[in-house]
Amino acid sequence: MNEGLELHENSWITHATREIYDNPWIRLTEHDVTNPGGGKSLYGKVHFKAFAIGIIPMDENNNTWLVGQHRYPLNEYSWEIPMGGGALDLPRLDSAKRELKEETGLSAAYWIELCKIHLSNSVSDEVGYAYLAQDLIQGETEFEETEKLDIRKISFQEVLKMTEKGEITDSLSVAAIYRLARILNL
């Protein structure tokens, strides 16, 4: 095993757990714990009831598509790769195909998983997966009721520049864009 990357045992001790809040997307629990230093404390955990799924669709000219929308929790407009939630009990790729179609109208014949990331592992168990979608066919979008999206076709080089300038800040988008840039040696 690589030095510094050894697995370690869990040094947290959980004494009690209490559900604070629950809705169709998340569950918040409070944990009465002893922390690794031996102190008593409370720890809040947000459990996500879906995977985060992001897609970088790429055509034969290395163009991709971004979606823009107002993100309610941040009260900010955000440019992102097409993304959404994937049910934990369904294949992730099926969710990726659905999200790509919903948000851009695109379908793809070729898919590669780019990365798996933990989106905010200090307070949640949310896991995100990003895919590259190629061999694209344009169709009609199928926005959800909660979506009012702007769609922008743009070169991947420009998307990479936007990310480097801090114009794209969504964590799954940033991770996927940099991962693909590394694969493409950009």
Predicted local confidence at residue 3, as pLDDT: 61
Please check the confidence at residue 147 and state whether its pLDDT lies above 90: no
Q: What is the pLDDT of residue 105?
A: 96
Whole-angstrom CA distances from 108 to 97, 125, 133 are 8, 29, 6
Residue 159: strand, helix, or coil: helix
List pLDDT tens digits, range 79-123: 999 999 999 999 999 999 999 999 999 999 999 999 999 999 999
Residue type at 155? S
CATH fold for domain 50-117+128-183: Nucleoside Triphosphate Pyrophosphohydrolase (3.90.79)
Asked whether the CA dihedral 100, 128, 65, 111 is positive or negative, the reply is negative
The predicted-structure confidence for 4-18, as pLDDT tens digits, reads as follows: 677 778 888 899 999
Residue 182 has a pLDDT of 96
Whether residue 29 is predicted with pLDDT greater than 90 in this model: the reply is yes
* Percentage of residues of the chain with pLDDT beyond 70: 98
Residue 93 sits at the vertex; the CA angle it makes with 129 and 142, to the nearest 5 degrees, is 100
**Domain locations along the chain:** 13-48, 50-117+128-183
Contact 159, 66 (CB under 8 A): yes
